[in-house]
Amino acid sequence: MTAPLKHSADITVDVALGDRAYDIVIGRGVLASLGARIAALRPGVRTAIVTDRTVARHWLEQAESSLAAAGIPTSRVIVEEGEISKTYAGLEKVSEALIAAKIERNDLVVALGGGVVGDLAGFAAAILRRGVDFVQVPTSLLAQVDSSVGGKTGINSPQGKNLLGAFHQPVLVIADTSVLDTLSQRQFRSGYAEVAKYGVLGDEAFFAWLEANHAEIFSGSAAREHAVATSCRAKAAIVSRDERETGERALLNLGHTFGHALEAATGFSDRLFHGEGVAIGMVLAAEFSAQLGKISEADAARVARHLAAVGLPTRLQDIAGFAQEGLAGADALLALMAQDKKVKRGKLTFILLEAVGRAAVVNDVDPTLVRDFLQRKLAG
């Protein structure tokens, strides 16, 4: 698999969901087309942009200018950055602001931001007046390749990640890869974990390409658009076959059962970004798969080696503050996993590997094996 040598025309990926199908538009500078695309999609619409303070400083004015040039009235709702906004209080703030802005059922909410903003704004849109359509304008790598696509919206409960939410598909996704230039290296690496995930779970050739070309993705060459488009195509294909996660879509949670528990254990704080939790979770899933005899130790090591090569954490000991604050014990982590959305009647479900490039849903995993595995990993 090779990437183009130079930036090409915008790439459009179709999410095939019948009368609710929508496009993901990928390319450098496509944010400028936001107004024209919305005007063509919904003539006469009004919008409200939900964003966070950091994204607002960089991209809110351009988004508003694009909408204004297309004759689209808009208002703004600005929230705090980070998981602190994905709460009951954050949902109330956004919902009340949208009501105050008189956003009606035939209007649009625009989610301008990373995964937190997309999840929060999408959930508010899903419940506002029993359902208002929304547009995703993801500004992080993680959001562009994962959370903006597929219609999962929601907020966190103190008891676990994303336990409150709704399936609510966007009507359009605008993924401008040039906005990623403003991300910190840590934020970009965090998003890269989700890119690598698509290779690990279902496309060994893509994973091999990532091993050879990850530096070009970070540098902002055309490899970046190629990686985003390949990831979006992979997710769109799965979502179109299993929108509500009754089967195959669960594969997209590779690394998330462990990762979400680690996020909860660290208080959904800056100690561990979501993608960092997914990276550690993928390595744990690979190593647990090897323990169960599903893959070789060499395959598990290959996954860990690549994630470490791009600077992602791969061990529990890599979590910020581990040496000073420690982490919840194996029993506590197992209890957090029991709150995972994939648990069915109290039985743990894991996404495990049969090979690099082939994942499988494994039901009713013996919790004793998981506890012993975690205890060894916590001990280093």
Q: Which amino acid is at 234?
A: A
Q: Is there a catalytic annotation at residue 226?
A: no
Q: Is there a catalytic annotation at residue 256?
A: yes
Handedness of CA 266, 362, 285, 248 (dihedral sign): negative
Q: Is there a catalytic annotation at residue 245?
A: yes
Task: Name the active-site residue from 235, 302, 341, 342.
Answer: 235
Q: Is there a catalytic annotation at residue 235?
A: yes
Task: Name the active-site residue from 256, 294, 306, 342.
Answer: 256
Task: Name the active-site residue from 28, 42, 271, 274.
Answer: 274
Task: Name the active-site residue from 64, 243, 245, 263.
Answer: 245
Task: Name the active-site residue from 152, 233, 294, 306.
Answer: 152
CA distances to 179, 181, 282 from 28, in Å: 8, 10, 30
Task: Name the active-site residue from 28, 233, 260, 306.
Answer: 260
Largest CA distance in the chain: 61
Task: Name the active-site residue from 28, 214, 233, 253.
Answer: 253
Q: Is there a catalytic annotation at residue 274?
A: yes
Tokens of 286: 């690979």
Task: Name the active-site residue from 28, 64, 86, 194.
Answer: 194
CA distance 332 to 90: 27
Q: Is there a catalytic annotation at residue 363?
A: no
Partners of 173 in the β-ladder: 24, 136
CA distance 102 to 312: 43
Tokens of 90: 């954050």
Q: Is there a catalytic annotation at residue 214?
A: no
Q: Is there a catalytic annotation at residue 306?
A: no
Task: Name the active-site residue from 249, 271, 294, 306.
Answer: 249
CA distance 145 to 274: 14
Q: Is there a catalytic annotation at residue 76?
A: no
Tokens of 135: 């547009």
Active site residues: 130, 152, 194, 235, 245, 249, 253, 256, 260, 274
